């Protein structure tokens, strides 16, 4: 098997290439190479071109970065049975691997090389866009979009970018306009909502367990739509939502619509509307997301401890 390490030089602060090379030197026969991405979506392009050129070669791609890098690598692997992927989580956001108990097991290169593949689902959002972790929109996507736009700005950016995103969402994103359907059922007939998550895994936003019942190999998305809340009630709901208790906490009963489904449709007239795919922003006014069962071969270290 060929091992290809996809390095996002913009992700995190770790010199991942040197750390990986230090381990690979122990192996005499392993065939490997490194590829450093040059622009957004470059990893997807590289993987699809590589797999097309080498249709008989078993290859494992290592996403060395955060959730955005994972998304690009997964998007490249879709449709290629001879390709598998795993994660070396050296980015700033590592929501996807929280499903497997966190980053520790995936920082062990030996364990990654010897990991066994498992087939997992992916969410197809159309036109070559995918989400391997979570598709979300509304309040969450406003926070994420704001963070991206201000992260390099003084004072409001850097470590304050998340706070800036929250402040903007509290001002502009408490009542969003979009009709959401799950397997044809309209979840919000009045077209209003606070936020909506379509979860293949369980975590989003660095710490929020948005899909506590989601499993990434069952052929379904776990869709949770939260109806509009007042600004006074909003802070009281944050902790149970963060801890993944919103599906059982009675305070959420009148505010949650939850479904397990195979297809989600969203449609809005808001020209500024954006969906968030694993932390990557997609401007859209109409989107159909469909789960593709068993779409990706994903290598899970034996030391990983899935939370399900």
Q: What is the CATH number of the domain that holds 210?
A: 2.60.200.40
User: Which residues, 6+ apart, have CB-to-CB distance to 93 below 8 Å?
Assistant: 66, 67, 68, 206, 279
Least Cα distance to 197 among 283, 260, 271 occurs for: 260
CB atoms within 10 A of CB 110: 12
C-beta neighbour count of 246 within 10 angstroms? 21
Domain hosting residue 56, numbered range:
2-121+295-300
| Per-residue model confidence (pLDDT) at position 158 | 81
Mean pLDDT of 44-55: 98
pLDDT value for 307: 84
If pLDDT is split at 50, 70 and 90, which confidence band does 115 have?
Answer: very high
pLDDT 10s digits, 70-88: 999 999 999 999 999 999 9
Report the C-alpha gap between 300 and 196 in whole angstroms. Answer: 29
152 and 262 part of one domain? yes
Predicted pLDDT of residue 46: 98
DSSP conformation letters of 96-141: HHHTTT-SGGGG-HHHHHTPEEEEEEEEEEETTEEESSEEEEEHHH
- Residue 128 is assigned to a structural domain of this protein: no
pLDDT score for 13? 52
Claim to verify: residue 42 and residue 187 sit in the same structural domain: no
Q: Is residue 92 located within the same domain as residue 153?
A: no
Q: What is the mean pLDDT of the chain?
A: 94
pLDDT digits (tens, 9 = 90+) for 255-279: 999 999 999 999 999 999 999 999 9
The verdict on 44 and 176 lying in the same domain is no
- The count of structural domains within the chain is 2
Angle at 260 between CA 252 and CA 240, to 5 degrees: 25
pLDDT at residue 114, as a whole number: 95
Do 59 and 102 belong to one domain? yes
**pLDDT tens profile 214-246:** 999 999 999 999 999 999 999 999 999 999 999
Question: How high is the pLDDT of residue 50?
Answer: 98
Least Cα distance to 65 among 32, 43, 98, 33 occurs for 43
What confidence score (pLDDT) does residue 306 get?
85
Say how far residue 60 (Cα) sits from the centre of its chain.
20
Those residues whose C-beta lies under 8 Å from the C-beta of residue 158, and which sit 6 or more positions away, are 151, 152
Is residue 126 a part of any domain in this protein?
Answer: no
207 and 237 belong to one structural domain: yes
pLDDT value at 12 more than 70: no
What's residue 162's pLDDT? 79
- The Cα–Cα gap between 219 and 202 comes to 15
Cβ neighbours around 104 below 10 Å, total: 15
pLDDT band per the 50, 70, 90 thresholds, residue 292: very high
Q: Are residues 68 and 116 in the same domain?
A: yes
Q: Residue 148: pLDDT band by 50, 70, 90 thresholds?
A: confident
Same-domain check for residues 42 and 143: no
Considering the domain boundaries, does residue 188 fall inside one?
A: yes
CATH of the domain at 115: 3.40.50.10330
Same domain for 115 and 169, yes or no, is no
Answer for the pair 186, 179: CB distance below 8 angstroms, yes or no. yes
Lowest mean per-residue pLDDT among 30-34, 95-99, 149-153, 296-300: 149-153
What is the model's pLDDT at position 294? 97
Residue 14 banded pLDDT, cuts 50, 70, 90: low
pLDDT 10s digits, 152-198: 899 998 878 878 998 999 999 999 999 999 999 999 999 999 999 99
């Amino acid at each position: 098997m060929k091992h290809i390490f996809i390095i996002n030089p913009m992700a995190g602060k770790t010199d991942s290439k040197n750390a990986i090379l230090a381990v690979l030197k122990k192996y005499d026969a392993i065939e490997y190479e490194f590829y450093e991405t040059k622009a957004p979506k470059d990893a997807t392009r590289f993987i699809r071109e590589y797999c097309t050129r080498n249709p008989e070669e078993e290859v494992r791609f290592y996403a060395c970065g955060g959730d955005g890098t994972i998304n690009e690598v997964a998007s490249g692997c879709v449709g290629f049975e001879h390709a598998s992927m795993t994660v070396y989580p050296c980015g700033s956001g590592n929501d996807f691997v929280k499903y497997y108990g966190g980053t520790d097991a995936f920082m062990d290169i030996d364990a990654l090389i010897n990991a066994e593949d498992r087939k997992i689902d992916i969410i197809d959002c159309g036109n070559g866009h995918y989400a391997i972790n979570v598709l979300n929109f509304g309040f969450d996507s406003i926070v994420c979009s704001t963070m991206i736009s201000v992260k390099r700005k003084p004072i409001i950016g850097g470590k304050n970018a998340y706070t800036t995103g929250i402040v903007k969402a509290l001002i502009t994103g408490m009542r969003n306009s979009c009709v959401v359907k799950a397997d044809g059922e309209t979840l919000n007939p009045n077209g209003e909502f606070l936020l909506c998550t379509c979860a293949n895994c369980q975590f989003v936003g660095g710490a929020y367990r948005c899909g506590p019942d989601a499993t990434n190999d069952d052929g379904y998305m776990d869709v949770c739509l939260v109806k509009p809340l007042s600004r006074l009630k909003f802070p009281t709901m944050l902790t149970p939502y963060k801890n993944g208790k919103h599906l059982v906490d009675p305070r959420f009963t009148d505010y949650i619509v939850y479904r397990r489904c195979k297809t989600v449709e969203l449609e809005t007239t808001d020209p500024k509307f954006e969906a968030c795919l694993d932390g990557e922003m997609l401007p859209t006014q109409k989107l159909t997301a469909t789960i593709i069962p068993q779409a990706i071969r994903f290598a899970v270290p034996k030391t990983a401890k899935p939370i399900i």
